Structure 1
Amino acid sequence: MRSGLPLLTALSVLGGVLTGPAFGQSLRITPEVAAESRIFVDDPRFDGQFGTFQGGLVLSGDLRWTSADRNTRILFEPYLRLDSQDGERSYGDIREASLSLRRGDWDILLGVSQVFWGVAESRNVVDVINQFDAIEDFDEGEKLGQPMVRVSRSFRFGTIQAFYLPFFRERRFPGEDGRLRFDPVVVNDAAVYERGGDEWAGDIALRYTNRFGGFDLGLHAFHGTSRNPFLAPGAQSQTLQPLYQELTQGGIDLQYTGGPWLLKLEAAAIDVGGDTFAATVSGFEYTFFGIGGGDIDIGIISEYLYDGRDMARAPITIFENDIFAGTRITFNDTQDAEILAGAFVDTETGALIASVEFQRRIGSRLLLEVEGRAFTGSGNPFTSAFQNDSHITLRLTRYF
């Protein structure tokens, strides 16, 4: 707790001093703190894991500065998590620390940033720039900050972005006493690399985006190090060692918007670890607006996920041949209440991963979030390891 207070205090003091009249509206500092409780339904499956309760505290926020002509921007977002049970889950990160420059049709970004590619709800096979934060969750929903140089140029026929990523961020896994982990445990500090230069080998990427009527199109090419490591037997007895393989990938993401319909496609041709395969996500979202003449909107989501990799030579994935079905309920009220529920079903084994997420603002400075996760079936590598890890998470965030 003491190690996180300086971050929150500094952001609060800076927010009070630097957002005064002398600085106008160009600088905004917003600290936030979140208290979290995670309750597991079952006793742990593996030796050494903690019991049923896990508490946490998250200190974060952002500093945003924009020049008067809006052509220069600075963004800084620190992140610190403190965990009551798993030492590997107490960590800090810089999510964003970037300088953005706009000069005519050119945009240049220098520093640490987060980039999102894709259109699907369940998984984004084209999203390869940032490392996923497996300490926060296993489902590739959170990201670590990625050092980069990004140059963008707008043309009449679309926008082209070029990326150079000089430093690789390793994925962190829960420790031996943590839940939602594999057995044997993954030794985070034992990572090895297929490419020379290891984490300094450098990655490159290109992306093209444009809009045609109701279609949003993205094309990309990437060469570098795979963000998802192959977990090999470690040098230490009964451990797993992350192996980061060379990755070359090209792909497309396409979304059509027509009234209540969203039609979505992501597809990638991937070469990693000596295996060449295709991965796709395709599906739709249909929204019923103003249910019963009121303000509630209900979206129905269905997607099919395919991954053709050779599982004996590639990293573990939960998204091999799965169907995702879900719903999004938006209440459109002053509290911004929303429910997102869905489930992955493995078409080969019947294994199931289900989730329900609810969030609602309380007043102007509090956000309440409730999440539930359930794992059933033993034929999938994730549900096999996590079958005792169904849980409920309560999170209350205070914004300053």
Structure 2
Amino acid sequence: MSLLAASFVLGFALPQSASGQDFDFSGFVAGEVRAFPEGAKFPDQDDSHISPSLVLQPELRYRWNRRDDRITFIPFLRIDADDDNRTHADIRELSWYHAEDDWDTVVGISKVFWGVVESRHLVDIVNQTDLVESPDQEDKLGQPMLNLNLLRDWGTLSFFVLPGFRERTFPDDDARLRGPLPIDDDDVSYESGLEEWNVDFALRYSQTFGGWDIGLAHFYGTSREPRLIPRADGDGNLSFRQRYDLIHQTSLDAQYTTGPWLLKLEALTRDGHDGDRFFAAVGGFEYTLFGIFESAADLGLLAEYLHDGRDDETPATPFEDDLFLGARLALNDVEDTELLAGVILDADQEERIFSVEFERRLSDSLNLEIEGQLFDNIDENGLLSGFEKDSFLEIRLSWFF
């Protein structure tokens, strides 16, 4: 972190005579209520049907040198009434960004997103998943990094050095959405002898040409997905132990735009777990009906196929042979009202995961979000068996400042 500290010193000491300085302070505070219609499946889980929490995320940005330099600080805090692990703080971003004509760089803690599909962010591997936030795995922890991007006519080449591994967050032993067994946060093992101090590396090439957006990447380092290994303590109590392996992962994300069609693909091949090298992919389309019923609203129809060929010696996934169907409604009104609803259908076990996301701005500073998941027809012997009673609806009211 010495480079980051130096960037702060330089950022505030040197640019005072430079033009284009500005300081922004913004963010949000949110009240959230998560409702579980059914009682808990396991006797050691909290059986509360209503679980409130409070979220605070301020954002500070300082720019100088004609806005070619920027320091960003985004801390995050959640206080949850029922899940001790969900009560947590994180630094989502604390970084220095510098831009030149044909390159830019980020030093510090930051977030990077790779991917194009809707149902499962398969190739997004730089940042660790903040799983206590939501089971959809879309929330990420901040990752220490050195990132250099070379901006050329033939594409962008991005180099990442990632020092300092972040373990995945999991719900507490007695919390809802924890799965079939408690996950031991104190018994974690690594393949690397450096454990969480192993330095990871990533390289990505991206380019846009015609209607295509293409990304090719390779990652080497500690897997963001742990293998969960069951074990019993001296009293016979079962729990999962986390094991983080070193992996090589090569991936492709591609999107083609033509008229109302978006064709999407994410694919990867990975080696390094105790199992064999495997291939996984998510591909499909989004077709948009513009101005439905002679209104300003647009309706997008989505379909994606999910395949994952990993074996039993790799981190388990329920998405081996699944189909996602969904719809996205954008009213294009002054309140930015949007609704996304979908279902993931398991082709083998006929399990179904329904999801809904609704968002609407109530005023210039107030925003309403509704999110939910429904676990239906869950196989009592499958990977999702621990979640069959944990269907939920979440309502969040955010005040932006």
Q: Tell me by how many angstroms 1:132 deviates.
A: 0.6
Residue matched to 1:59: 56
Matched, 1:187 2:194: no
Residue matched to 1:301: 302
Q: How does 1:62-73 map to 2 (within 5 A)?
A: 62-73=59-70
* Cα distance in 2 for residues equivalent to 1:63 and 1:296: 35
In the superposition, relative to structure 1, how do residues 132 and 318 fare at CA in structure 2: closer, same or farther (>3 Å)?
same
- For residue 206 of structure 1, the aligned residue among 203, 206, 225 is 203
Residue matched to 1:100: 97
Residue matched to 1:240: 240
Q: Deviations over 1:61-91 (max 9, x none)?
A: 2111221412101111110000001111100
Any idea what SS the aligned residue of 1:168 has?
coil
Aligned residues: 377
Any idea what SS the aligned residue of 1:179 has?
coil
Matched, 1:31 2:32: no
* Cα distance in 1 for residues equivalent to 2:185 and 2:169: 6
Residue matched to 1:17: none
Residue matched to 1:133: 130
Q: Is the 8 A contact 2:21 2:65 kept in 1?
A: no
Q: How does 1:330-341 map to 2 (within 5 A)?
A: 330-341=330-341
* Cα distance in 2 for residues equivalent to 1:385 and 1:395: 25
The answer for unaligned runs of 5 or more in structure 2 is 1-18
- TM-score between both structures, scaled by the size of structure 2: 0.92
In the superposition, relative to structure 1, how do residues 338 and 391 fare at CA in structure 2: closer, same or farther (>3 Å)?
same
Q: Deviations over 1:160-188 (max 9, x none)?
A: 00000001000011112200012220012
In the superposition, relative to structure 1, how do residues 343 and 30 fare at CA in structure 2: closer, same or farther (>3 Å)?
same
Q: Tell me by how many angstroms 1:345 deviates.
A: 0.7
Q: What code does the residue aligned with 1:50 have? A: D
- For residue 222 of structure 2, the aligned residue among 205, 210, 225 is 225
* Cα distance in 2 for residues equivalent to 1:40 and 1:122: 23
Taking every aligned residue pair, what percent have the same amino acid on both sides? 45
* Cα distance in 1 for residues equivalent to 2:395 and 2:383: 23
Residue matched to 2:16: none
Q: Is the 8 A contact 1:353 1:383 kept in 2?
A: no
* Cα distance in 2 for residues equivalent to 1:335 and 1:202: 44
Residue matched to 2:354: 354
Q: Tell me by how many angstroms 1:270 deviates.
A: 0.8
* Cα distance in 1 for residues equivalent to 2:220 and 2:302: 32
* Cα distance in 1 for residues equivalent to 2:203 and 2:355: 34
* Cα distance in 2 for residues equivalent to 1:313 and 1:47: 30
Residue matched to 2:167: 170
Q: Deviations over 1:6-46 (max 9, x none)?
A: xxxxxxxxxxxxxxxxx987211113110011110100001
Any idea what SS the aligned residue of 2:186 has?
helix
Q: What code does the residue aligned with 1:105 have? A: D
Q: Deviations over 1:193-247 (max 9, x none)?
A: 0112001111000000011100011000110011010001246331111101111
Any idea what SS the aligned residue of 2:266 has?
strand
* Cα distance in 2 for residues equivalent to 1:174 and 1:263: 35
* Cα distance in 2 for residues equivalent to 1:192 and 1:106: 38
Q: Tell me by how many angstroms 1:387 deviates.
A: 0.4
In the superposition, relative to structure 1, how do residues 111 and 202 fare at CA in structure 2: closer, same or farther (>3 Å)?
same
* Cα distance in 1 for residues equivalent to 2:209 and 2:304: 23
Any idea what SS the aligned residue of 1:324 has?
strand
In the superposition, relative to structure 1, how do residues 25 and 382 fare at CA in structure 2: closer, same or farther (>3 Å)?
farther
After superposing the two structures, state which structure 1 stretch, 264-273 or 375-384, moved more: 375-384
* Cα distance in 2 for residues equivalent to 1:233 and 1:327: 38
Q: Tell me by how many angstroms 1:373 deviates.
A: 1.1
Q: What code does the residue aligned with 2:215 have? A: G
Matched, 1:396 2:392: no
Q: Deviations over 1:301-356 (max 9, x none)?
A: 0000100000x211121321110010000010111110000111111100111111
Matched, 1:79 2:76: yes
* Cα distance in 2 for residues equivalent to 1:356 and 1:121: 13
CA-based RMSD: 1.4
Q: What code does the residue aligned with 1:171 have? A: R
The answer for unaligned runs of 5 or more in structure 1 is 1-22
* Cα distance in 2 for residues equivalent to 1:189 and 1:340: 38
Matched, 1:368 2:368: yes
Residue matched to 1:313: 313
Residue matched to 1:272: 272
Q: Tell me by how many angstroms 1:156 deviates.
A: 1.5
Residue matched to 2:258: 258
* Cα distance in 2 for residues equivalent to 1:325 and 1:256: 19
After superposing the two structures, state which structure 1 stretch, 97-106 or 24-33, moved more: 24-33
* Cα distance in 1 for residues equivalent to 2:328 and 2:25: 31
* Cα distance in 2 for residues equivalent to 1:101 and 1:381: 48
* Cα distance in 1 for residues equivalent to 2:350 and 2:98: 50
Q: Is the 8 A contact 1:351 1:377 kept in 2?
A: yes
Q: Tell me by how many angstroms 1:93 deviates.
A: 0.3
Q: Deviations over 1:121-174 (max 9, x none)?
A: 111221110001110012211100000000110112111000000010000111
After superposing the two structures, state which structure 1 stretch, 322-331 or 118-127, moved more: 118-127
- For residue 110 of structure 1, the aligned residue among 104, 107, 132 is 107
- TM-score between both structures, scaled by the size of structure 1: 0.92
Q: Tell me by how many angstroms 1:102 deviates.
A: 1.1
